[in-house]
Amino acid sequence: MLTLKILRKLFRILNGDVSPRQIAGGFAFGVILGLTPLLSLHNLLVLFLICIIRVNVSSAIFSMLIFKLLAFLIDPLSHQLGYLLLVDFGFLNSFWTFLYNLPIVPWTGFNNTLVLGSLVISLILFIPNLIVVNKGVVAYRTSLQPKLEKTKLFKLIKATRIYSWYNKISNIVD
Amino acid sequence: MRWKGVITFAVILALMALFSFFFMDNLIKWGMETTGTMVTGAKTEINSLELSFARLSFSLNGLQSADPDNEWQNRLEINDIRFKMNWRPLLEGKVEIEEMAVEGIRSGTKRTTSGKLPPKEIPPPDPVVEKEKESLSAETEDVPALKILKGEQKVNVDDVVKPNELTAPAEIQKVNDELDKRHNSSMDLLNNLNLTPRIESIKKQIEDINIKEKDPRKLKKEISKAKDILKEIDKLKGDVKAAENQVRSDYAYVDTALKTIDQLKQKDYEAALKTITEAKGITGGDISRLALGPVWLDRAQSALKWYKIIKNLMPAGGPITETPKAKAFIGMDIAFPKEKGYPAFLLKKVLVTTGDKASADELKFSGKVENISSDQNLSGSPTVISLTGTSPVFTLDGLLVHNATASNDTLTLIIKDYDLKGFSLGNSKFLPKTVSGGRADIHAALVSSGGKTQIDITILPRELVFTPEDIGQSEATKQIAGVLSSSNDIKIEAVVTIDGGKFSWKIKSNLDDKISEAVKNLIAARMEDAKAEIKKKIDASVDQQKQELVNKLQVNKGQADTQLKEKNTSLDGLDKLFESKTKGLVK
């Protein structure tokens, strides 16, 4: 039911009048929330940015959920990257030591291999996410959406009583 | 910037702050109660808890931890725990407490609510110790002396005394056969003397002597004949005497054999007793180990459990031999040099003050624990424990070193004149359930270095008292309780060693000898009845046969005596006839 609801929301966002940039911005921030441990201090900043910048919150939640699941696969890689940066790259040592000696900063848990590694991965992915999702939404709306609506399967699904009944209930709940 | 979003974020922050303000105390309280219950294995409750972010202070009131063995009693109750955190380390996510005050510690107080835990929350016992106890129990079942003590082993006289294996009846049979043989031989000897014809022949010769002969030449001849007859009579007498000596000798052999039979009967009796008193050979060490083992293992298990909890809370210590592995989905914290390094947790001093103003049942002791730290390399000092009590009189000293070079723990507990009233002796098959009265001096030492941990405990109990209810009906328990009560110089030394996961233990005590002696006495008393039965059965097997042999001997001897008497009478008659015929002239 939840999966169906998320997919319906996704389709509603994609088919609605929300700008592709807002969708892409929300998605990119959601990736940070999804890949890094949720209860980290930096995520409070991400949450603050999602609230004050005009990005789509639903796409942020959607990408967070998707990447939270993917994080289980990526965590070993995140740990290795974090270890590389914190331990193996000796030239960064003075920088980490500086941060380590600042007040409050240690609360972010940056010296944890998993936190740092996943944060770096999500930050690296931030700009590509913005570009790819933005272009993807534009492409979907211009070429794929009209074709999809004309397919027999789509029409068949829309014509079923279950869909209309579910749609009605969902609208009431929303 | 969208203001709607700013307001949403502000609302989220406000909700978080409100949650912390209203629910953080309860959350920590719940966390502490849950952890306490898990660690102690008994219900742990806190009356109230207050955490102030503004003052960085913590205050806990009314901590009580139930006794796992008595749901309506507390094992530990603390009135107040208070401390303040330093703000500077807190900015770095580290907790540093300058001084913690712990006041009003009590034990054994009554509970108003049940402290029973649901079955699933009771932690399982240590499998290694349980295996050891099971093996001890199995060993106990096989010890004959303990079976006798428990009254399970009865002496079956029929198994002990088997008539066909006795030596005395066999000897009787042998002597009986020999008696027959010798009697026949004696009879043959007497009969073969051929005495009657020989006497008749001599009598005839005597009758022919004419001692009244006038002719000197003929008289001389007659006298010569009489002398020859006399020689023949003497030879006859000699033959009878020799036969008599032989017969007497044969029957004397049987008299000696009867004495041998008595000796063999005594040997049979002693051999039978030996088989039933072999259990006396059991060493006292076994009994002491089997009796005190389960109690000692329970106490050791409890001590090790608490030490394990303390050790788990302490930093690992010792040189790092391998790179630590990251835990799945948690990562690894990398430490960097700091100008002023704080360990993640540092409690500089815990001051325990109790027993001076609170209730009468409060434990009377005071002291301090210094430098409880998550990283002794950063805090720079080992953990030092120093507690002194007046009721009971005790000292507890500890030094826990867990730094980069070593991981050594030493804990020493000395208790003087400890009141043993109500002290549980566990579920040992041979000990009373609890001690009703008595005192003890206890010296306990725990030394742990690397992977090796050793606990040494020396207990000197005295003036022990047990009620009949605690002793129960078991004869073994009665005996052991008797030994414990009557001795004031008992010394029990116990050692548990865990080396690289290998568990070993031993108990040494002079109680071994005392219990052993009591067991021997009990077995000896139990054996008296059995001894009487054995004697009866051996007597029945031997005495009748022996009496038959004696009767037979007397009959045979009687026959021989009669014959000898007849023969001697005949010889006497011959003598008289010779005297009357020769008128004493020939002799």
pLDDT at position B397 is: 94
The verdict on residue B49 lying in a domain is no
Q: Which of B1, B8, B92 to mutate to test the interface with A (most CBs of A within 10 A)?
A: B92
Which tokens sit at B269? Answer: 């009796």
pLDDT score, position B312: 75
Would you say residue B457 lies in a domain? Answer: no
d(CA B391, CA B76): 15
Contact flag A53-B91 (C-beta cutoff 8 Å): no
Compute the average pLDDT of residues B61-71. 87
Residue B81 above 60 pLDDT? yes
Calculate mean pLDDT across residues B549-565.
Answer: 88
> Best of A19, A87, A94, A114 to disrupt the B interface by mutation (most B CBs within 10 Å)?
A114
pLDDT of residue B494: 87
Q: What mean pLDDT is predicted for residues B1-18?
A: 83
CB B295 within 8 A of CB B381: no
The answer on pLDDT for A34 being more than 60 is: yes
Reduced 3-state DSSP string for B466-514? CCHHHHCCCHHHHHHHHHHHHCCCCCEEEEEEEECCEEEEEEEECHHHH
In chain B, the residue whose alpha carbon lies closest to the alpha carbon of A85 is B334
Contact B74, B65 (CB under 8 A): yes
**What band does A28 get if pLDDT is binned at 50, 70 and 90?**
very high
B332 chain-A contacts, CB cut-off 8 A = 79, 83, 112-114
Distance of CA B401 to the CA centre of its chain: 39
Q: How far is CA B165 from CA B21, B169, B266, in A?
A: 93, 9, 14
Q: Which residues of A touch B (CB under 8 A)?
A: 47-48, 50-54, 72, 75, 78-79, 82-83, 86-87, 93, 96-97, 100-101, 103-104, 106-107, 109, 111-115, 117
What are the residues facing B573 on neighbouring strands?
A: none
Q: Which of A48, A72, A111 sits opposite B336 (nearest CB)?
A: A111
pLDDT of residue B123: 60
Q: Which of B132, B140, B138 is nearest to B497 (CA)?
A: B132
- Per domain, the residue ranges of chain A are 2-143
Closest residue, chain A, to B331 (C-alpha) = A114
Look at residue B358 in the predicted model and tell me its pLDDT: 52
Question: In B, residues 90-119, which contact A (CB 8 Å cutoff)?
Answer: 91-94
**Count of Cβ atoms closer than 10 Å to residue B436 Cβ:** 18
Give dist(CA B29, CA B131) in Å, integer.
37
Residue A119: per-residue pLDDT: 94
Furthest C-alpha separation in chain B: 192
Q: How confident is the model at residue B135 (pLDDT cuts 50, 70, 90)?
A: confident
Smallest CA–CA distance from A47 into chain B, residue: B9
For the cut 60, the answer to whether the pLDDT of residue A173 exceeds it is no
Higher pLDDT, B284 or B468: B468
Average pLDDT over chain B, rounded to an integer: 81
- pLDDT-derived band at A174, boundaries 50, 70, 90: very low
Tell me which residue of B586, B568, B576, B583 sits closest to B230, measured CA to CA.
B586
Q: Find, among A1, A32, A27, A2, the residue nearest to A14 by Cα.
A: A27
The rounded radius of gyration (Å) of the Cα atoms in chain A is 20
Would residue B186 count as lying in a domain? yes
**Does B280 have pLDDT greater than 60?**
no
Mean pLDDT of chain A: 85
Asked whether the beta carbons of B374 and B345 are under 8 A apart, the reply is yes
Burial class (CB in 10 A: 0-12, 13-18, 19+), A76: middle
CB contact under 8 A, A114 and B336: no
Q: What is the pLDDT of residue B279?
A: 47
| Amino acid identity at A43 | N
Contacts of A117 in chain B (CB under 8 A): 331
Report which residue type is found at B342: Y
Question: Rounded mean pLDDT of B561-577?
Answer: 88
Task: Yes or no: say if B519 and B474 are a contact pair by the CB < 8 Å rule.
Answer: no
Q: What is the pLDDT of residue B331?
A: 83
Q: Does B15 reach chain A within 8 Å, measured CB to CB? A: no
State the best of B336, B340, B342, B345 to mutate against chain A, taking most chain A CBs within 10 Å. B336
Alpha-carbon distance of B133 to B67, in angstroms, equals: 23
What DSSP string runs through B303-321? HHHHHHHHHHHS---S---
Q: What is the mean pLDDT of residues B565-570?
A: 88
Q: What is the pLDDT of residue A172?
A: 55
With 90 as the cut, is the pLDDT of residue B302 above it? Answer: no
Quick one: pLDDT at residue A133?
93
DSSP bridge pairs for B495:
B456, B506
The predicted-structure confidence for A125-139, as pLDDT tens digits, reads as follows 999 999 999 999 999
Residue B568 lies in a domain: yes
Measured CA to CA in angstroms, residue A109 lies from A43, A100, A114, A157, B125 at distances of 11, 10, 9, 48, 38
Residues 6+ apart with CB under 8 A from B411: B307, B385, B396, B397, B398, B444, B445, B446
Quote the percentage of chain B above a pLDDT of 90.
9
Cis peptide before B123 (omega within 30 of 0): no
**Strand runs labelled E in B354-509:** 364-373, 383-391, 393-402, 407-419, 437-449, 452-465, 492-499, 502-509
Q: What is the mean pLDDT of residues A43-62?
A: 89
- The parent domain of residue B545 ranges over 157-279+532-582
| In the predicted structure, residue B546 carries a pLDDT above the cut 80 | yes
Q: What integer pLDDT is reported at residue A1 of this predicted model?
A: 56
Q: If you average pLDDT over residues A77-90, what whole number do you get?
A: 91
How many whole angstroms separate alpha carbon B2 and alpha carbon B467?
83
Q: Do A96 and B334 touch (CB under 8 A)?
A: yes
Distance of alpha carbon A90 from alpha carbon B272, whole angstroms: 88
Contact flag B332-A106 (C-beta cutoff 8 Å): no
Query: Is the ipTM reported for this complex over the cut 0.85?
Result: no
Closest CA to B409 of B368, B450, B350: B450
What tens digit of pLDDT does each residue of B344-402 get? 788 889 988 776 555 666 677 889 999 988 888 888 888 999 999 887 789 999 999 88
Q: Is B327 an interface residue toward A (CB < 8 Å)? A: no
CB-based contact (8 Å) between B336 and chain A? yes
pLDDT tens readout for residues B220-245: 888 888 888 888 888 888 988 988 88
Asked whether residue B189 is assigned to any structural domain, the reply reads yes
pLDDT tier for residue B306 given thresholds of 50, 70 and 90: confident
* Residue in A100, A103, A112 closest to B331 by CB: A112
User: β-pairing, B345-353 with B95-106?
Assistant: parallel
Helix, strand, or coil here: B57? Answer: strand
**Cα distance between residue B20 and residue B14, in whole Å:** 10
SS3 at position B369 = strand
How many domains does chain B contain in total? Answer: 1
Q: How far apart are CA B168 and CA B172, in angstroms?
A: 6
Residue B518 lies in a domain: no
Q: How many CB pairs under 8 A join A and B?
A: 75
Residues of chain A found within 8 Å of residue B326, distances taken between Cβ atoms: 79, 83, 113-114
CA distance B65 to B37: 8
Q: Tell me, what's the pLDDT at B415?
A: 93
pLDDT for B141: 65
Could you tell me which residues come within 8 angstroms of residue B509 by beta carbon, excluding any fewer than 6 positions away?
B288, B292, B490, B491, B492, B493
Domain assignment present for residue B573? The answer is yes
Q: Which amino acid is at B445?
A: A
Name the token pair of B340. 């002023």
